[in-house]
Amino acid sequence: MARTNTVENLTKLEMESNGTKVEIPFKMARYKAPKPVIICISPQFVAEQWQIFMMQIHVAHRFGAHLHLYLISILESYFDLMKEYEKQGYLTIDFWLKIKFADPKSPYFEPNVNTELRNQIGAQMDCLLQYKEAAEYIAFFDMDDVLFPKNYPTYLEEFTAEWTLKPNATSVAYGRREHEFIKAETLAEYSFNELIASLKSAKGVKTAKLVVKPELHNTTGLHFSLHEDYRLRNNKTSPHIVHVQRPVQKHGSNEVKKLWKFAFGPLDEKIRKEDIDAIEEDIQRIRNLSSVAEIAERLPKEDFYFPIVFKCYLSQFYRRPVLTECPNAERCFLPQKENLKCIHSDANYISGPSMSPFTYHFTNNSFWSKDIGCYQ
């Protein structure tokens, strides 16, 4: 991540070395946000678990947040569902691109195998800087990190109260607790009441995720910012983020549940009945849209890619005490199926003139492609 100060009302930015110049395209930060609270969702690839998305998007909407979500690749029907929510103003879908070079200068240069978790930190920093001057609070979550505010009816009030109690806090850290629920196979049978009724909690707390005041931060990390004084972090012991990485299929093999075992007990988080009912009503409203009804018939009923990726992650780094290579899915074998088509992010890739010590490679005109396949 490179930072620099510029002149006011910048119209053109160039990099120069030994008389050679290249123009660097840029975009302006946002000065208005759809909601005062933005939840930045890490890049999704071969995404198929629309049931978790439904939980996340409706919970966020209920408590006054807007999702900014990065996509690498996603099943086409699931993408169509997301686009309907974008039309409704619930989220913003953004491109997250592979690192490619129009002119790499070497046939052996492949940088993607050396990106940590599909360059997730880069996406989080992009989201932070997009909304830095527009949002009051920014949360950095994965799709399966769902937060129910405990003391107030909205995230805005909940987070404001935390900073009122600890005005010098650099961030609020919410620990994650593993949960499982039984997921519906179709949108027609998707019930938030039933989802919550089936929700079970595990003991123990995983590494936290952060909520920040954006004016306090210029960078972030995977879980925490390395430029933050951890002694000033407000570590919450309650509520926990409901982490729903591995929901249970009604009729699938659930092999991931066997590979990575947790002892689940009764739900141990506070979720208000009026919120459950309001979310249920909101789901019903979306489901009744004619455009959504058509998409619902095409949504996958069972997992295909999730157990493949999870098993690959287990072998690569989940169970390794010491990492010997960068953790990502570049080395995972992702089979292609005729009946499972993906939308993949793409762009025009451009290489600037060869310069020393830096050659600038960039993209423009990002678009969604149906021709790449289901890959990271």
Does pLDDT of 50 surpass 90? Answer: yes
Sign of the CA dihedral 174, 178, 181, 183?
Answer: positive
What pLDDT band is residue 145 in, cutting at 50, 70 and 90?
A: very high
Which regions of 154-196 does DSSP assign to beta strands (E)? 171-180, 182-183
Does pLDDT of 3 surpass 80? Answer: no
Say how far apart CA 74 and CA 44 lie, in whole Å: 7
Q: How far is CA 4 from CA 1, 7, 13, 129, 218, in A?
A: 10, 10, 11, 13, 12
Give the pLDDT of residue 261. Answer: 83
Residue 322's CB is within 10 A of a number of other CB atoms, namely: 5
Contact 24, 362 (CB under 8 A): yes
DSSP string, 252-295: S--HHHHHS---EES--S---HHHHHHHHHHHHHHHTSHHHHHH
Average pLDDT value for residue range 313-317:
84
Residue 25's CB is within 10 A of a number of other CB atoms, namely: 10
**For residue 368, which of 341, 335, 336 has the smallest C-alpha distance?**
341
Q: pLDDT digit string (tens) for 218-260?
A: 999 989 888 899 999 999 999 999 999 889 998 878 888 888 8
Domains of the chain: 35-176+206-237+286-319+326-333+340-351+358-369 (3.90.550)
Average pLDDT value for residue range 100-119:
86
Contact 68, 130 (CB under 8 A): yes
Give the pLDDT of residue 114. Answer: 87
Does pLDDT of 51 surpass 90? Answer: yes
Task: Name the residue with tokens 């949108």.
Answer: 187
The rounded mean pLDDT for the chain is 94
What pLDDT band is residue 327 in, cutting at 50, 70 and 90?
A: confident
Say how far apart CA 316 and CA 309 lie, in whole Å: 10
Please report, rounded to a whole number, the percentage of residues in the chain having pLDDT higher than 70.
Answer: 100
Q: How far is CA 346 from CA 114, 147, 355, 376, in A?
A: 20, 32, 26, 12
Average pLDDT value for residue range 208-216:
97
What 3-state class would DSSP assign to 182?
Answer: strand
**For residue 95, which of 75, 78, 74, 112 has the smallest C-alpha distance?**
74
Q: Could you tell me the two tokens for 363?
A: 């993209």
Does pLDDT of 111 surpass 90? Answer: no
Give the pLDDT of residue 142. Answer: 97
Give the pLDDT of residue 233. Answer: 97
What pLDDT band is residue 212 in, cutting at 50, 70 and 90?
A: very high
Does pLDDT of 322 surpass 90? Answer: no
Does pLDDT of 301 surpass 90? Answer: yes
Say how far apart CA 372 and CA 348 lie, in whole Å: 14
Q: pLDDT digit string (tens) for 9-48?
A: 999 999 999 999 999 999 889 999 999 999 999 999 999 9
Does pLDDT of 1 surpass 80? Answer: no
